[in-house]
Structure 1
Amino acid sequence: MKPATAAKKLGVYLEATPASFREGSVSRAELNALQTDPPAWLAELRRNGPHPRQVVAARLGVSIAGLARGGITEPLTTEQIDALRQEFPEWLRRERATQAEVRKEGARLRARDAERAAAGS
């Protein structure tokens, strides 16, 4: 697979990976090995970053679109993410509330669908 795909599956920012990773291809066996026994560079990236948008969004409890609305377009380190959590700017407060509403609505729809499925059986 392409290095970009492997980096996404590993949850790391491709540009921060070693050149040998970015320039080659990654087999399924290699990906599995990286996941089960991560080398030092992978453990360091996962721990301290920089992190890709999907990881930043998950750590902040917002959507990727919410990050963009908040002006966060670049990868962030763990330290920067922690600083945002401490600051807790208005955009983050608003996006977390939006994300909570989305999850609540999703749960309501799943419950409704389960009721309909049970009634139809």
Structure 2
Amino acid sequence: MTSHQTTQTMKPATAAKKLGVYLEATPADFQEGVVSRGELNALQTDPPQWLTDLRRDGPHPRPVVAAKLGVSIAGLARGGVTDALTTEQIDALSQELPSWLRRERATQAEVRKEAARIKEKNAEKIAERAGQARRPRS
């Protein structure tokens, strides 16, 4: 019995997400085909010019826009940003620093601070339990 190894493929939307690019801005042949795991790896290790340009100039998908602005995706929506933005538009927003962006950045900073506090608290509990497990019982 011989085993046939099938090539793993993914939809263009999945590949675009893994590449961190906005699907609608990719070339038509990328949008209309399927992408194999090997092709995705090749795109990541040796990106063609269109991919390099998209990553540099955009338009960028919302997760990338949110990361570049230092806010959450939900924060973008609360700020009224629902479409993909170019690097130029993101830079302009960073320069303008509208009130919603300042507010969302502050919210994001609080979320990160709380996550760090919880992580530290959990690490202390784990260390405490490990210390109790080593002590002989009387």
Q: CA deviation at 1:20?
A: 0.4
Residue equivalent to 2:38: 29
CA RMSD of aligned residues (A): 0.3
Residue equivalent to 1:120: 129
Q: CA deviation at 1:10?
A: 0.2
The number of equivalent residue pairs is 121
Aligned-residue sequence identity (percent) comes to: 78
| Cα distance in 2 for residues equivalent to 1:40 and 1:66 | 32
Q: CA deviation at 1:89?
A: 0.3
Q: CA deviation at 1:8?
A: 0.2
| Cα distance in 2 for residues equivalent to 1:86 and 1:100 | 19
Residue equivalent to 1:70: 79
For 1:1-121, list aligned pairs within 5 A.
Answer: 1-121=10-130
- Runs of 4+ residues over 4 Å off in structure 1: none
Unaligned runs of 5+ in 1: none
Q: CA deviation at 1:28?
A: 0.6
For residues 51-85 of structure 1, the C-alpha deviation after alignment (integer angstroms, 9 at most, x for no partner) is 00000000000000000000000000000000000
The AA in structure 1 aligned to 2:115 is G
For residues 22-68 of structure 1, the C-alpha deviation after alignment (integer angstroms, 9 at most, x for no partner) is 00000111000000000000000000000000000000000000000
- Structure with higher Rg: it is 2
**What's the TM-score once normalised by structure 1's chain length?**
1.00
Bigger proportion of residues as helix: 1
What secondary structure does 1:111 align onto?
helix
Unaligned runs of 5+ in 2: 1-9, 131-138
